[in-house]
Amino acid sequence: MMKLHIGCFNQPQEGWHNTDITPHIYISRIPLAARLLRAVGKITEERFQEHKAGVFRKVHYLDVAKTFPYSSGSASAVFSSHIIEHISIDGARAMLKESLRILAPGGICRVVAPSLEWAFSFYDEAAPERTLSIIFEHEQTGKNRHQWMYTAKSLIRTMEEVGFNKVRQCQYREGALPDLNLIDNRPENSIYVEGTKT
């Protein structure tokens, strides 16, 4: 069965169906495109080296705002890390509903997100800028800005509301999802929540 990795960017994992919406997917399919873009300064040396290594050829396009192009019950696991905060709450619910649909009974969905509690730990009434910057990522543009933030309890509730069962908070690289030692790669300032399809 498929194990779906949503929003992997430059971290595809063996044994997973790695997805993202990055334009680097298309660049990787055009011969010499990455070399040309590097030559004119449109991509960094780091990104160019990733292209040379074939990183983005392992990634498939998936727009989580749309119906997933996978059959119901076709996946045993779904994983996303620091993706859900970049889409609206309605978009997040739609993504979670699609994740639930494609999971087989007993399948696990793990969602990792930046912690709103952590952001609020920096709150200073006289100077709220750091907290606001963490929440909104205002220095970013477009899809890289945050649209919503979660506490562990609010993420658990959201997953339960779309139909997941046995939803619980986990710790970094702790839980029932397979390959956590490889795929869980955000130990900093994150919350980790898993739910099961019954």
pLDDT digits (tens, 9 = 90+) for 178-189: 999 999 999 999
For domain 2-22+59-114+148-196, the CATH architecture is 3-Layer(aba) Sandwich (3.40)
107 neighbors 165 (Cβ within 8 angstroms): no
pLDDT digit string (tens) for 2-59? 999 999 999 999 999 999 999 999 999 999 999 999 999 999 999 999 999 999 999 9
194: nearest Cα among 74, 78, 64 = 78
**What's the length of the chain?**
198
pLDDT in tens, 106-125: 999 999 999 999 999 989 99
Q: pLDDT class for 138, splitting at 50, 70, 90? A: confident
The sheet with strand 17-20 has its strands ordered as: 60-61, 17-20, 2-6, 75-81, 103-114, 190-196, 165-170
Instruction: Give the mean pLDDT of 157-169.
Output: 98
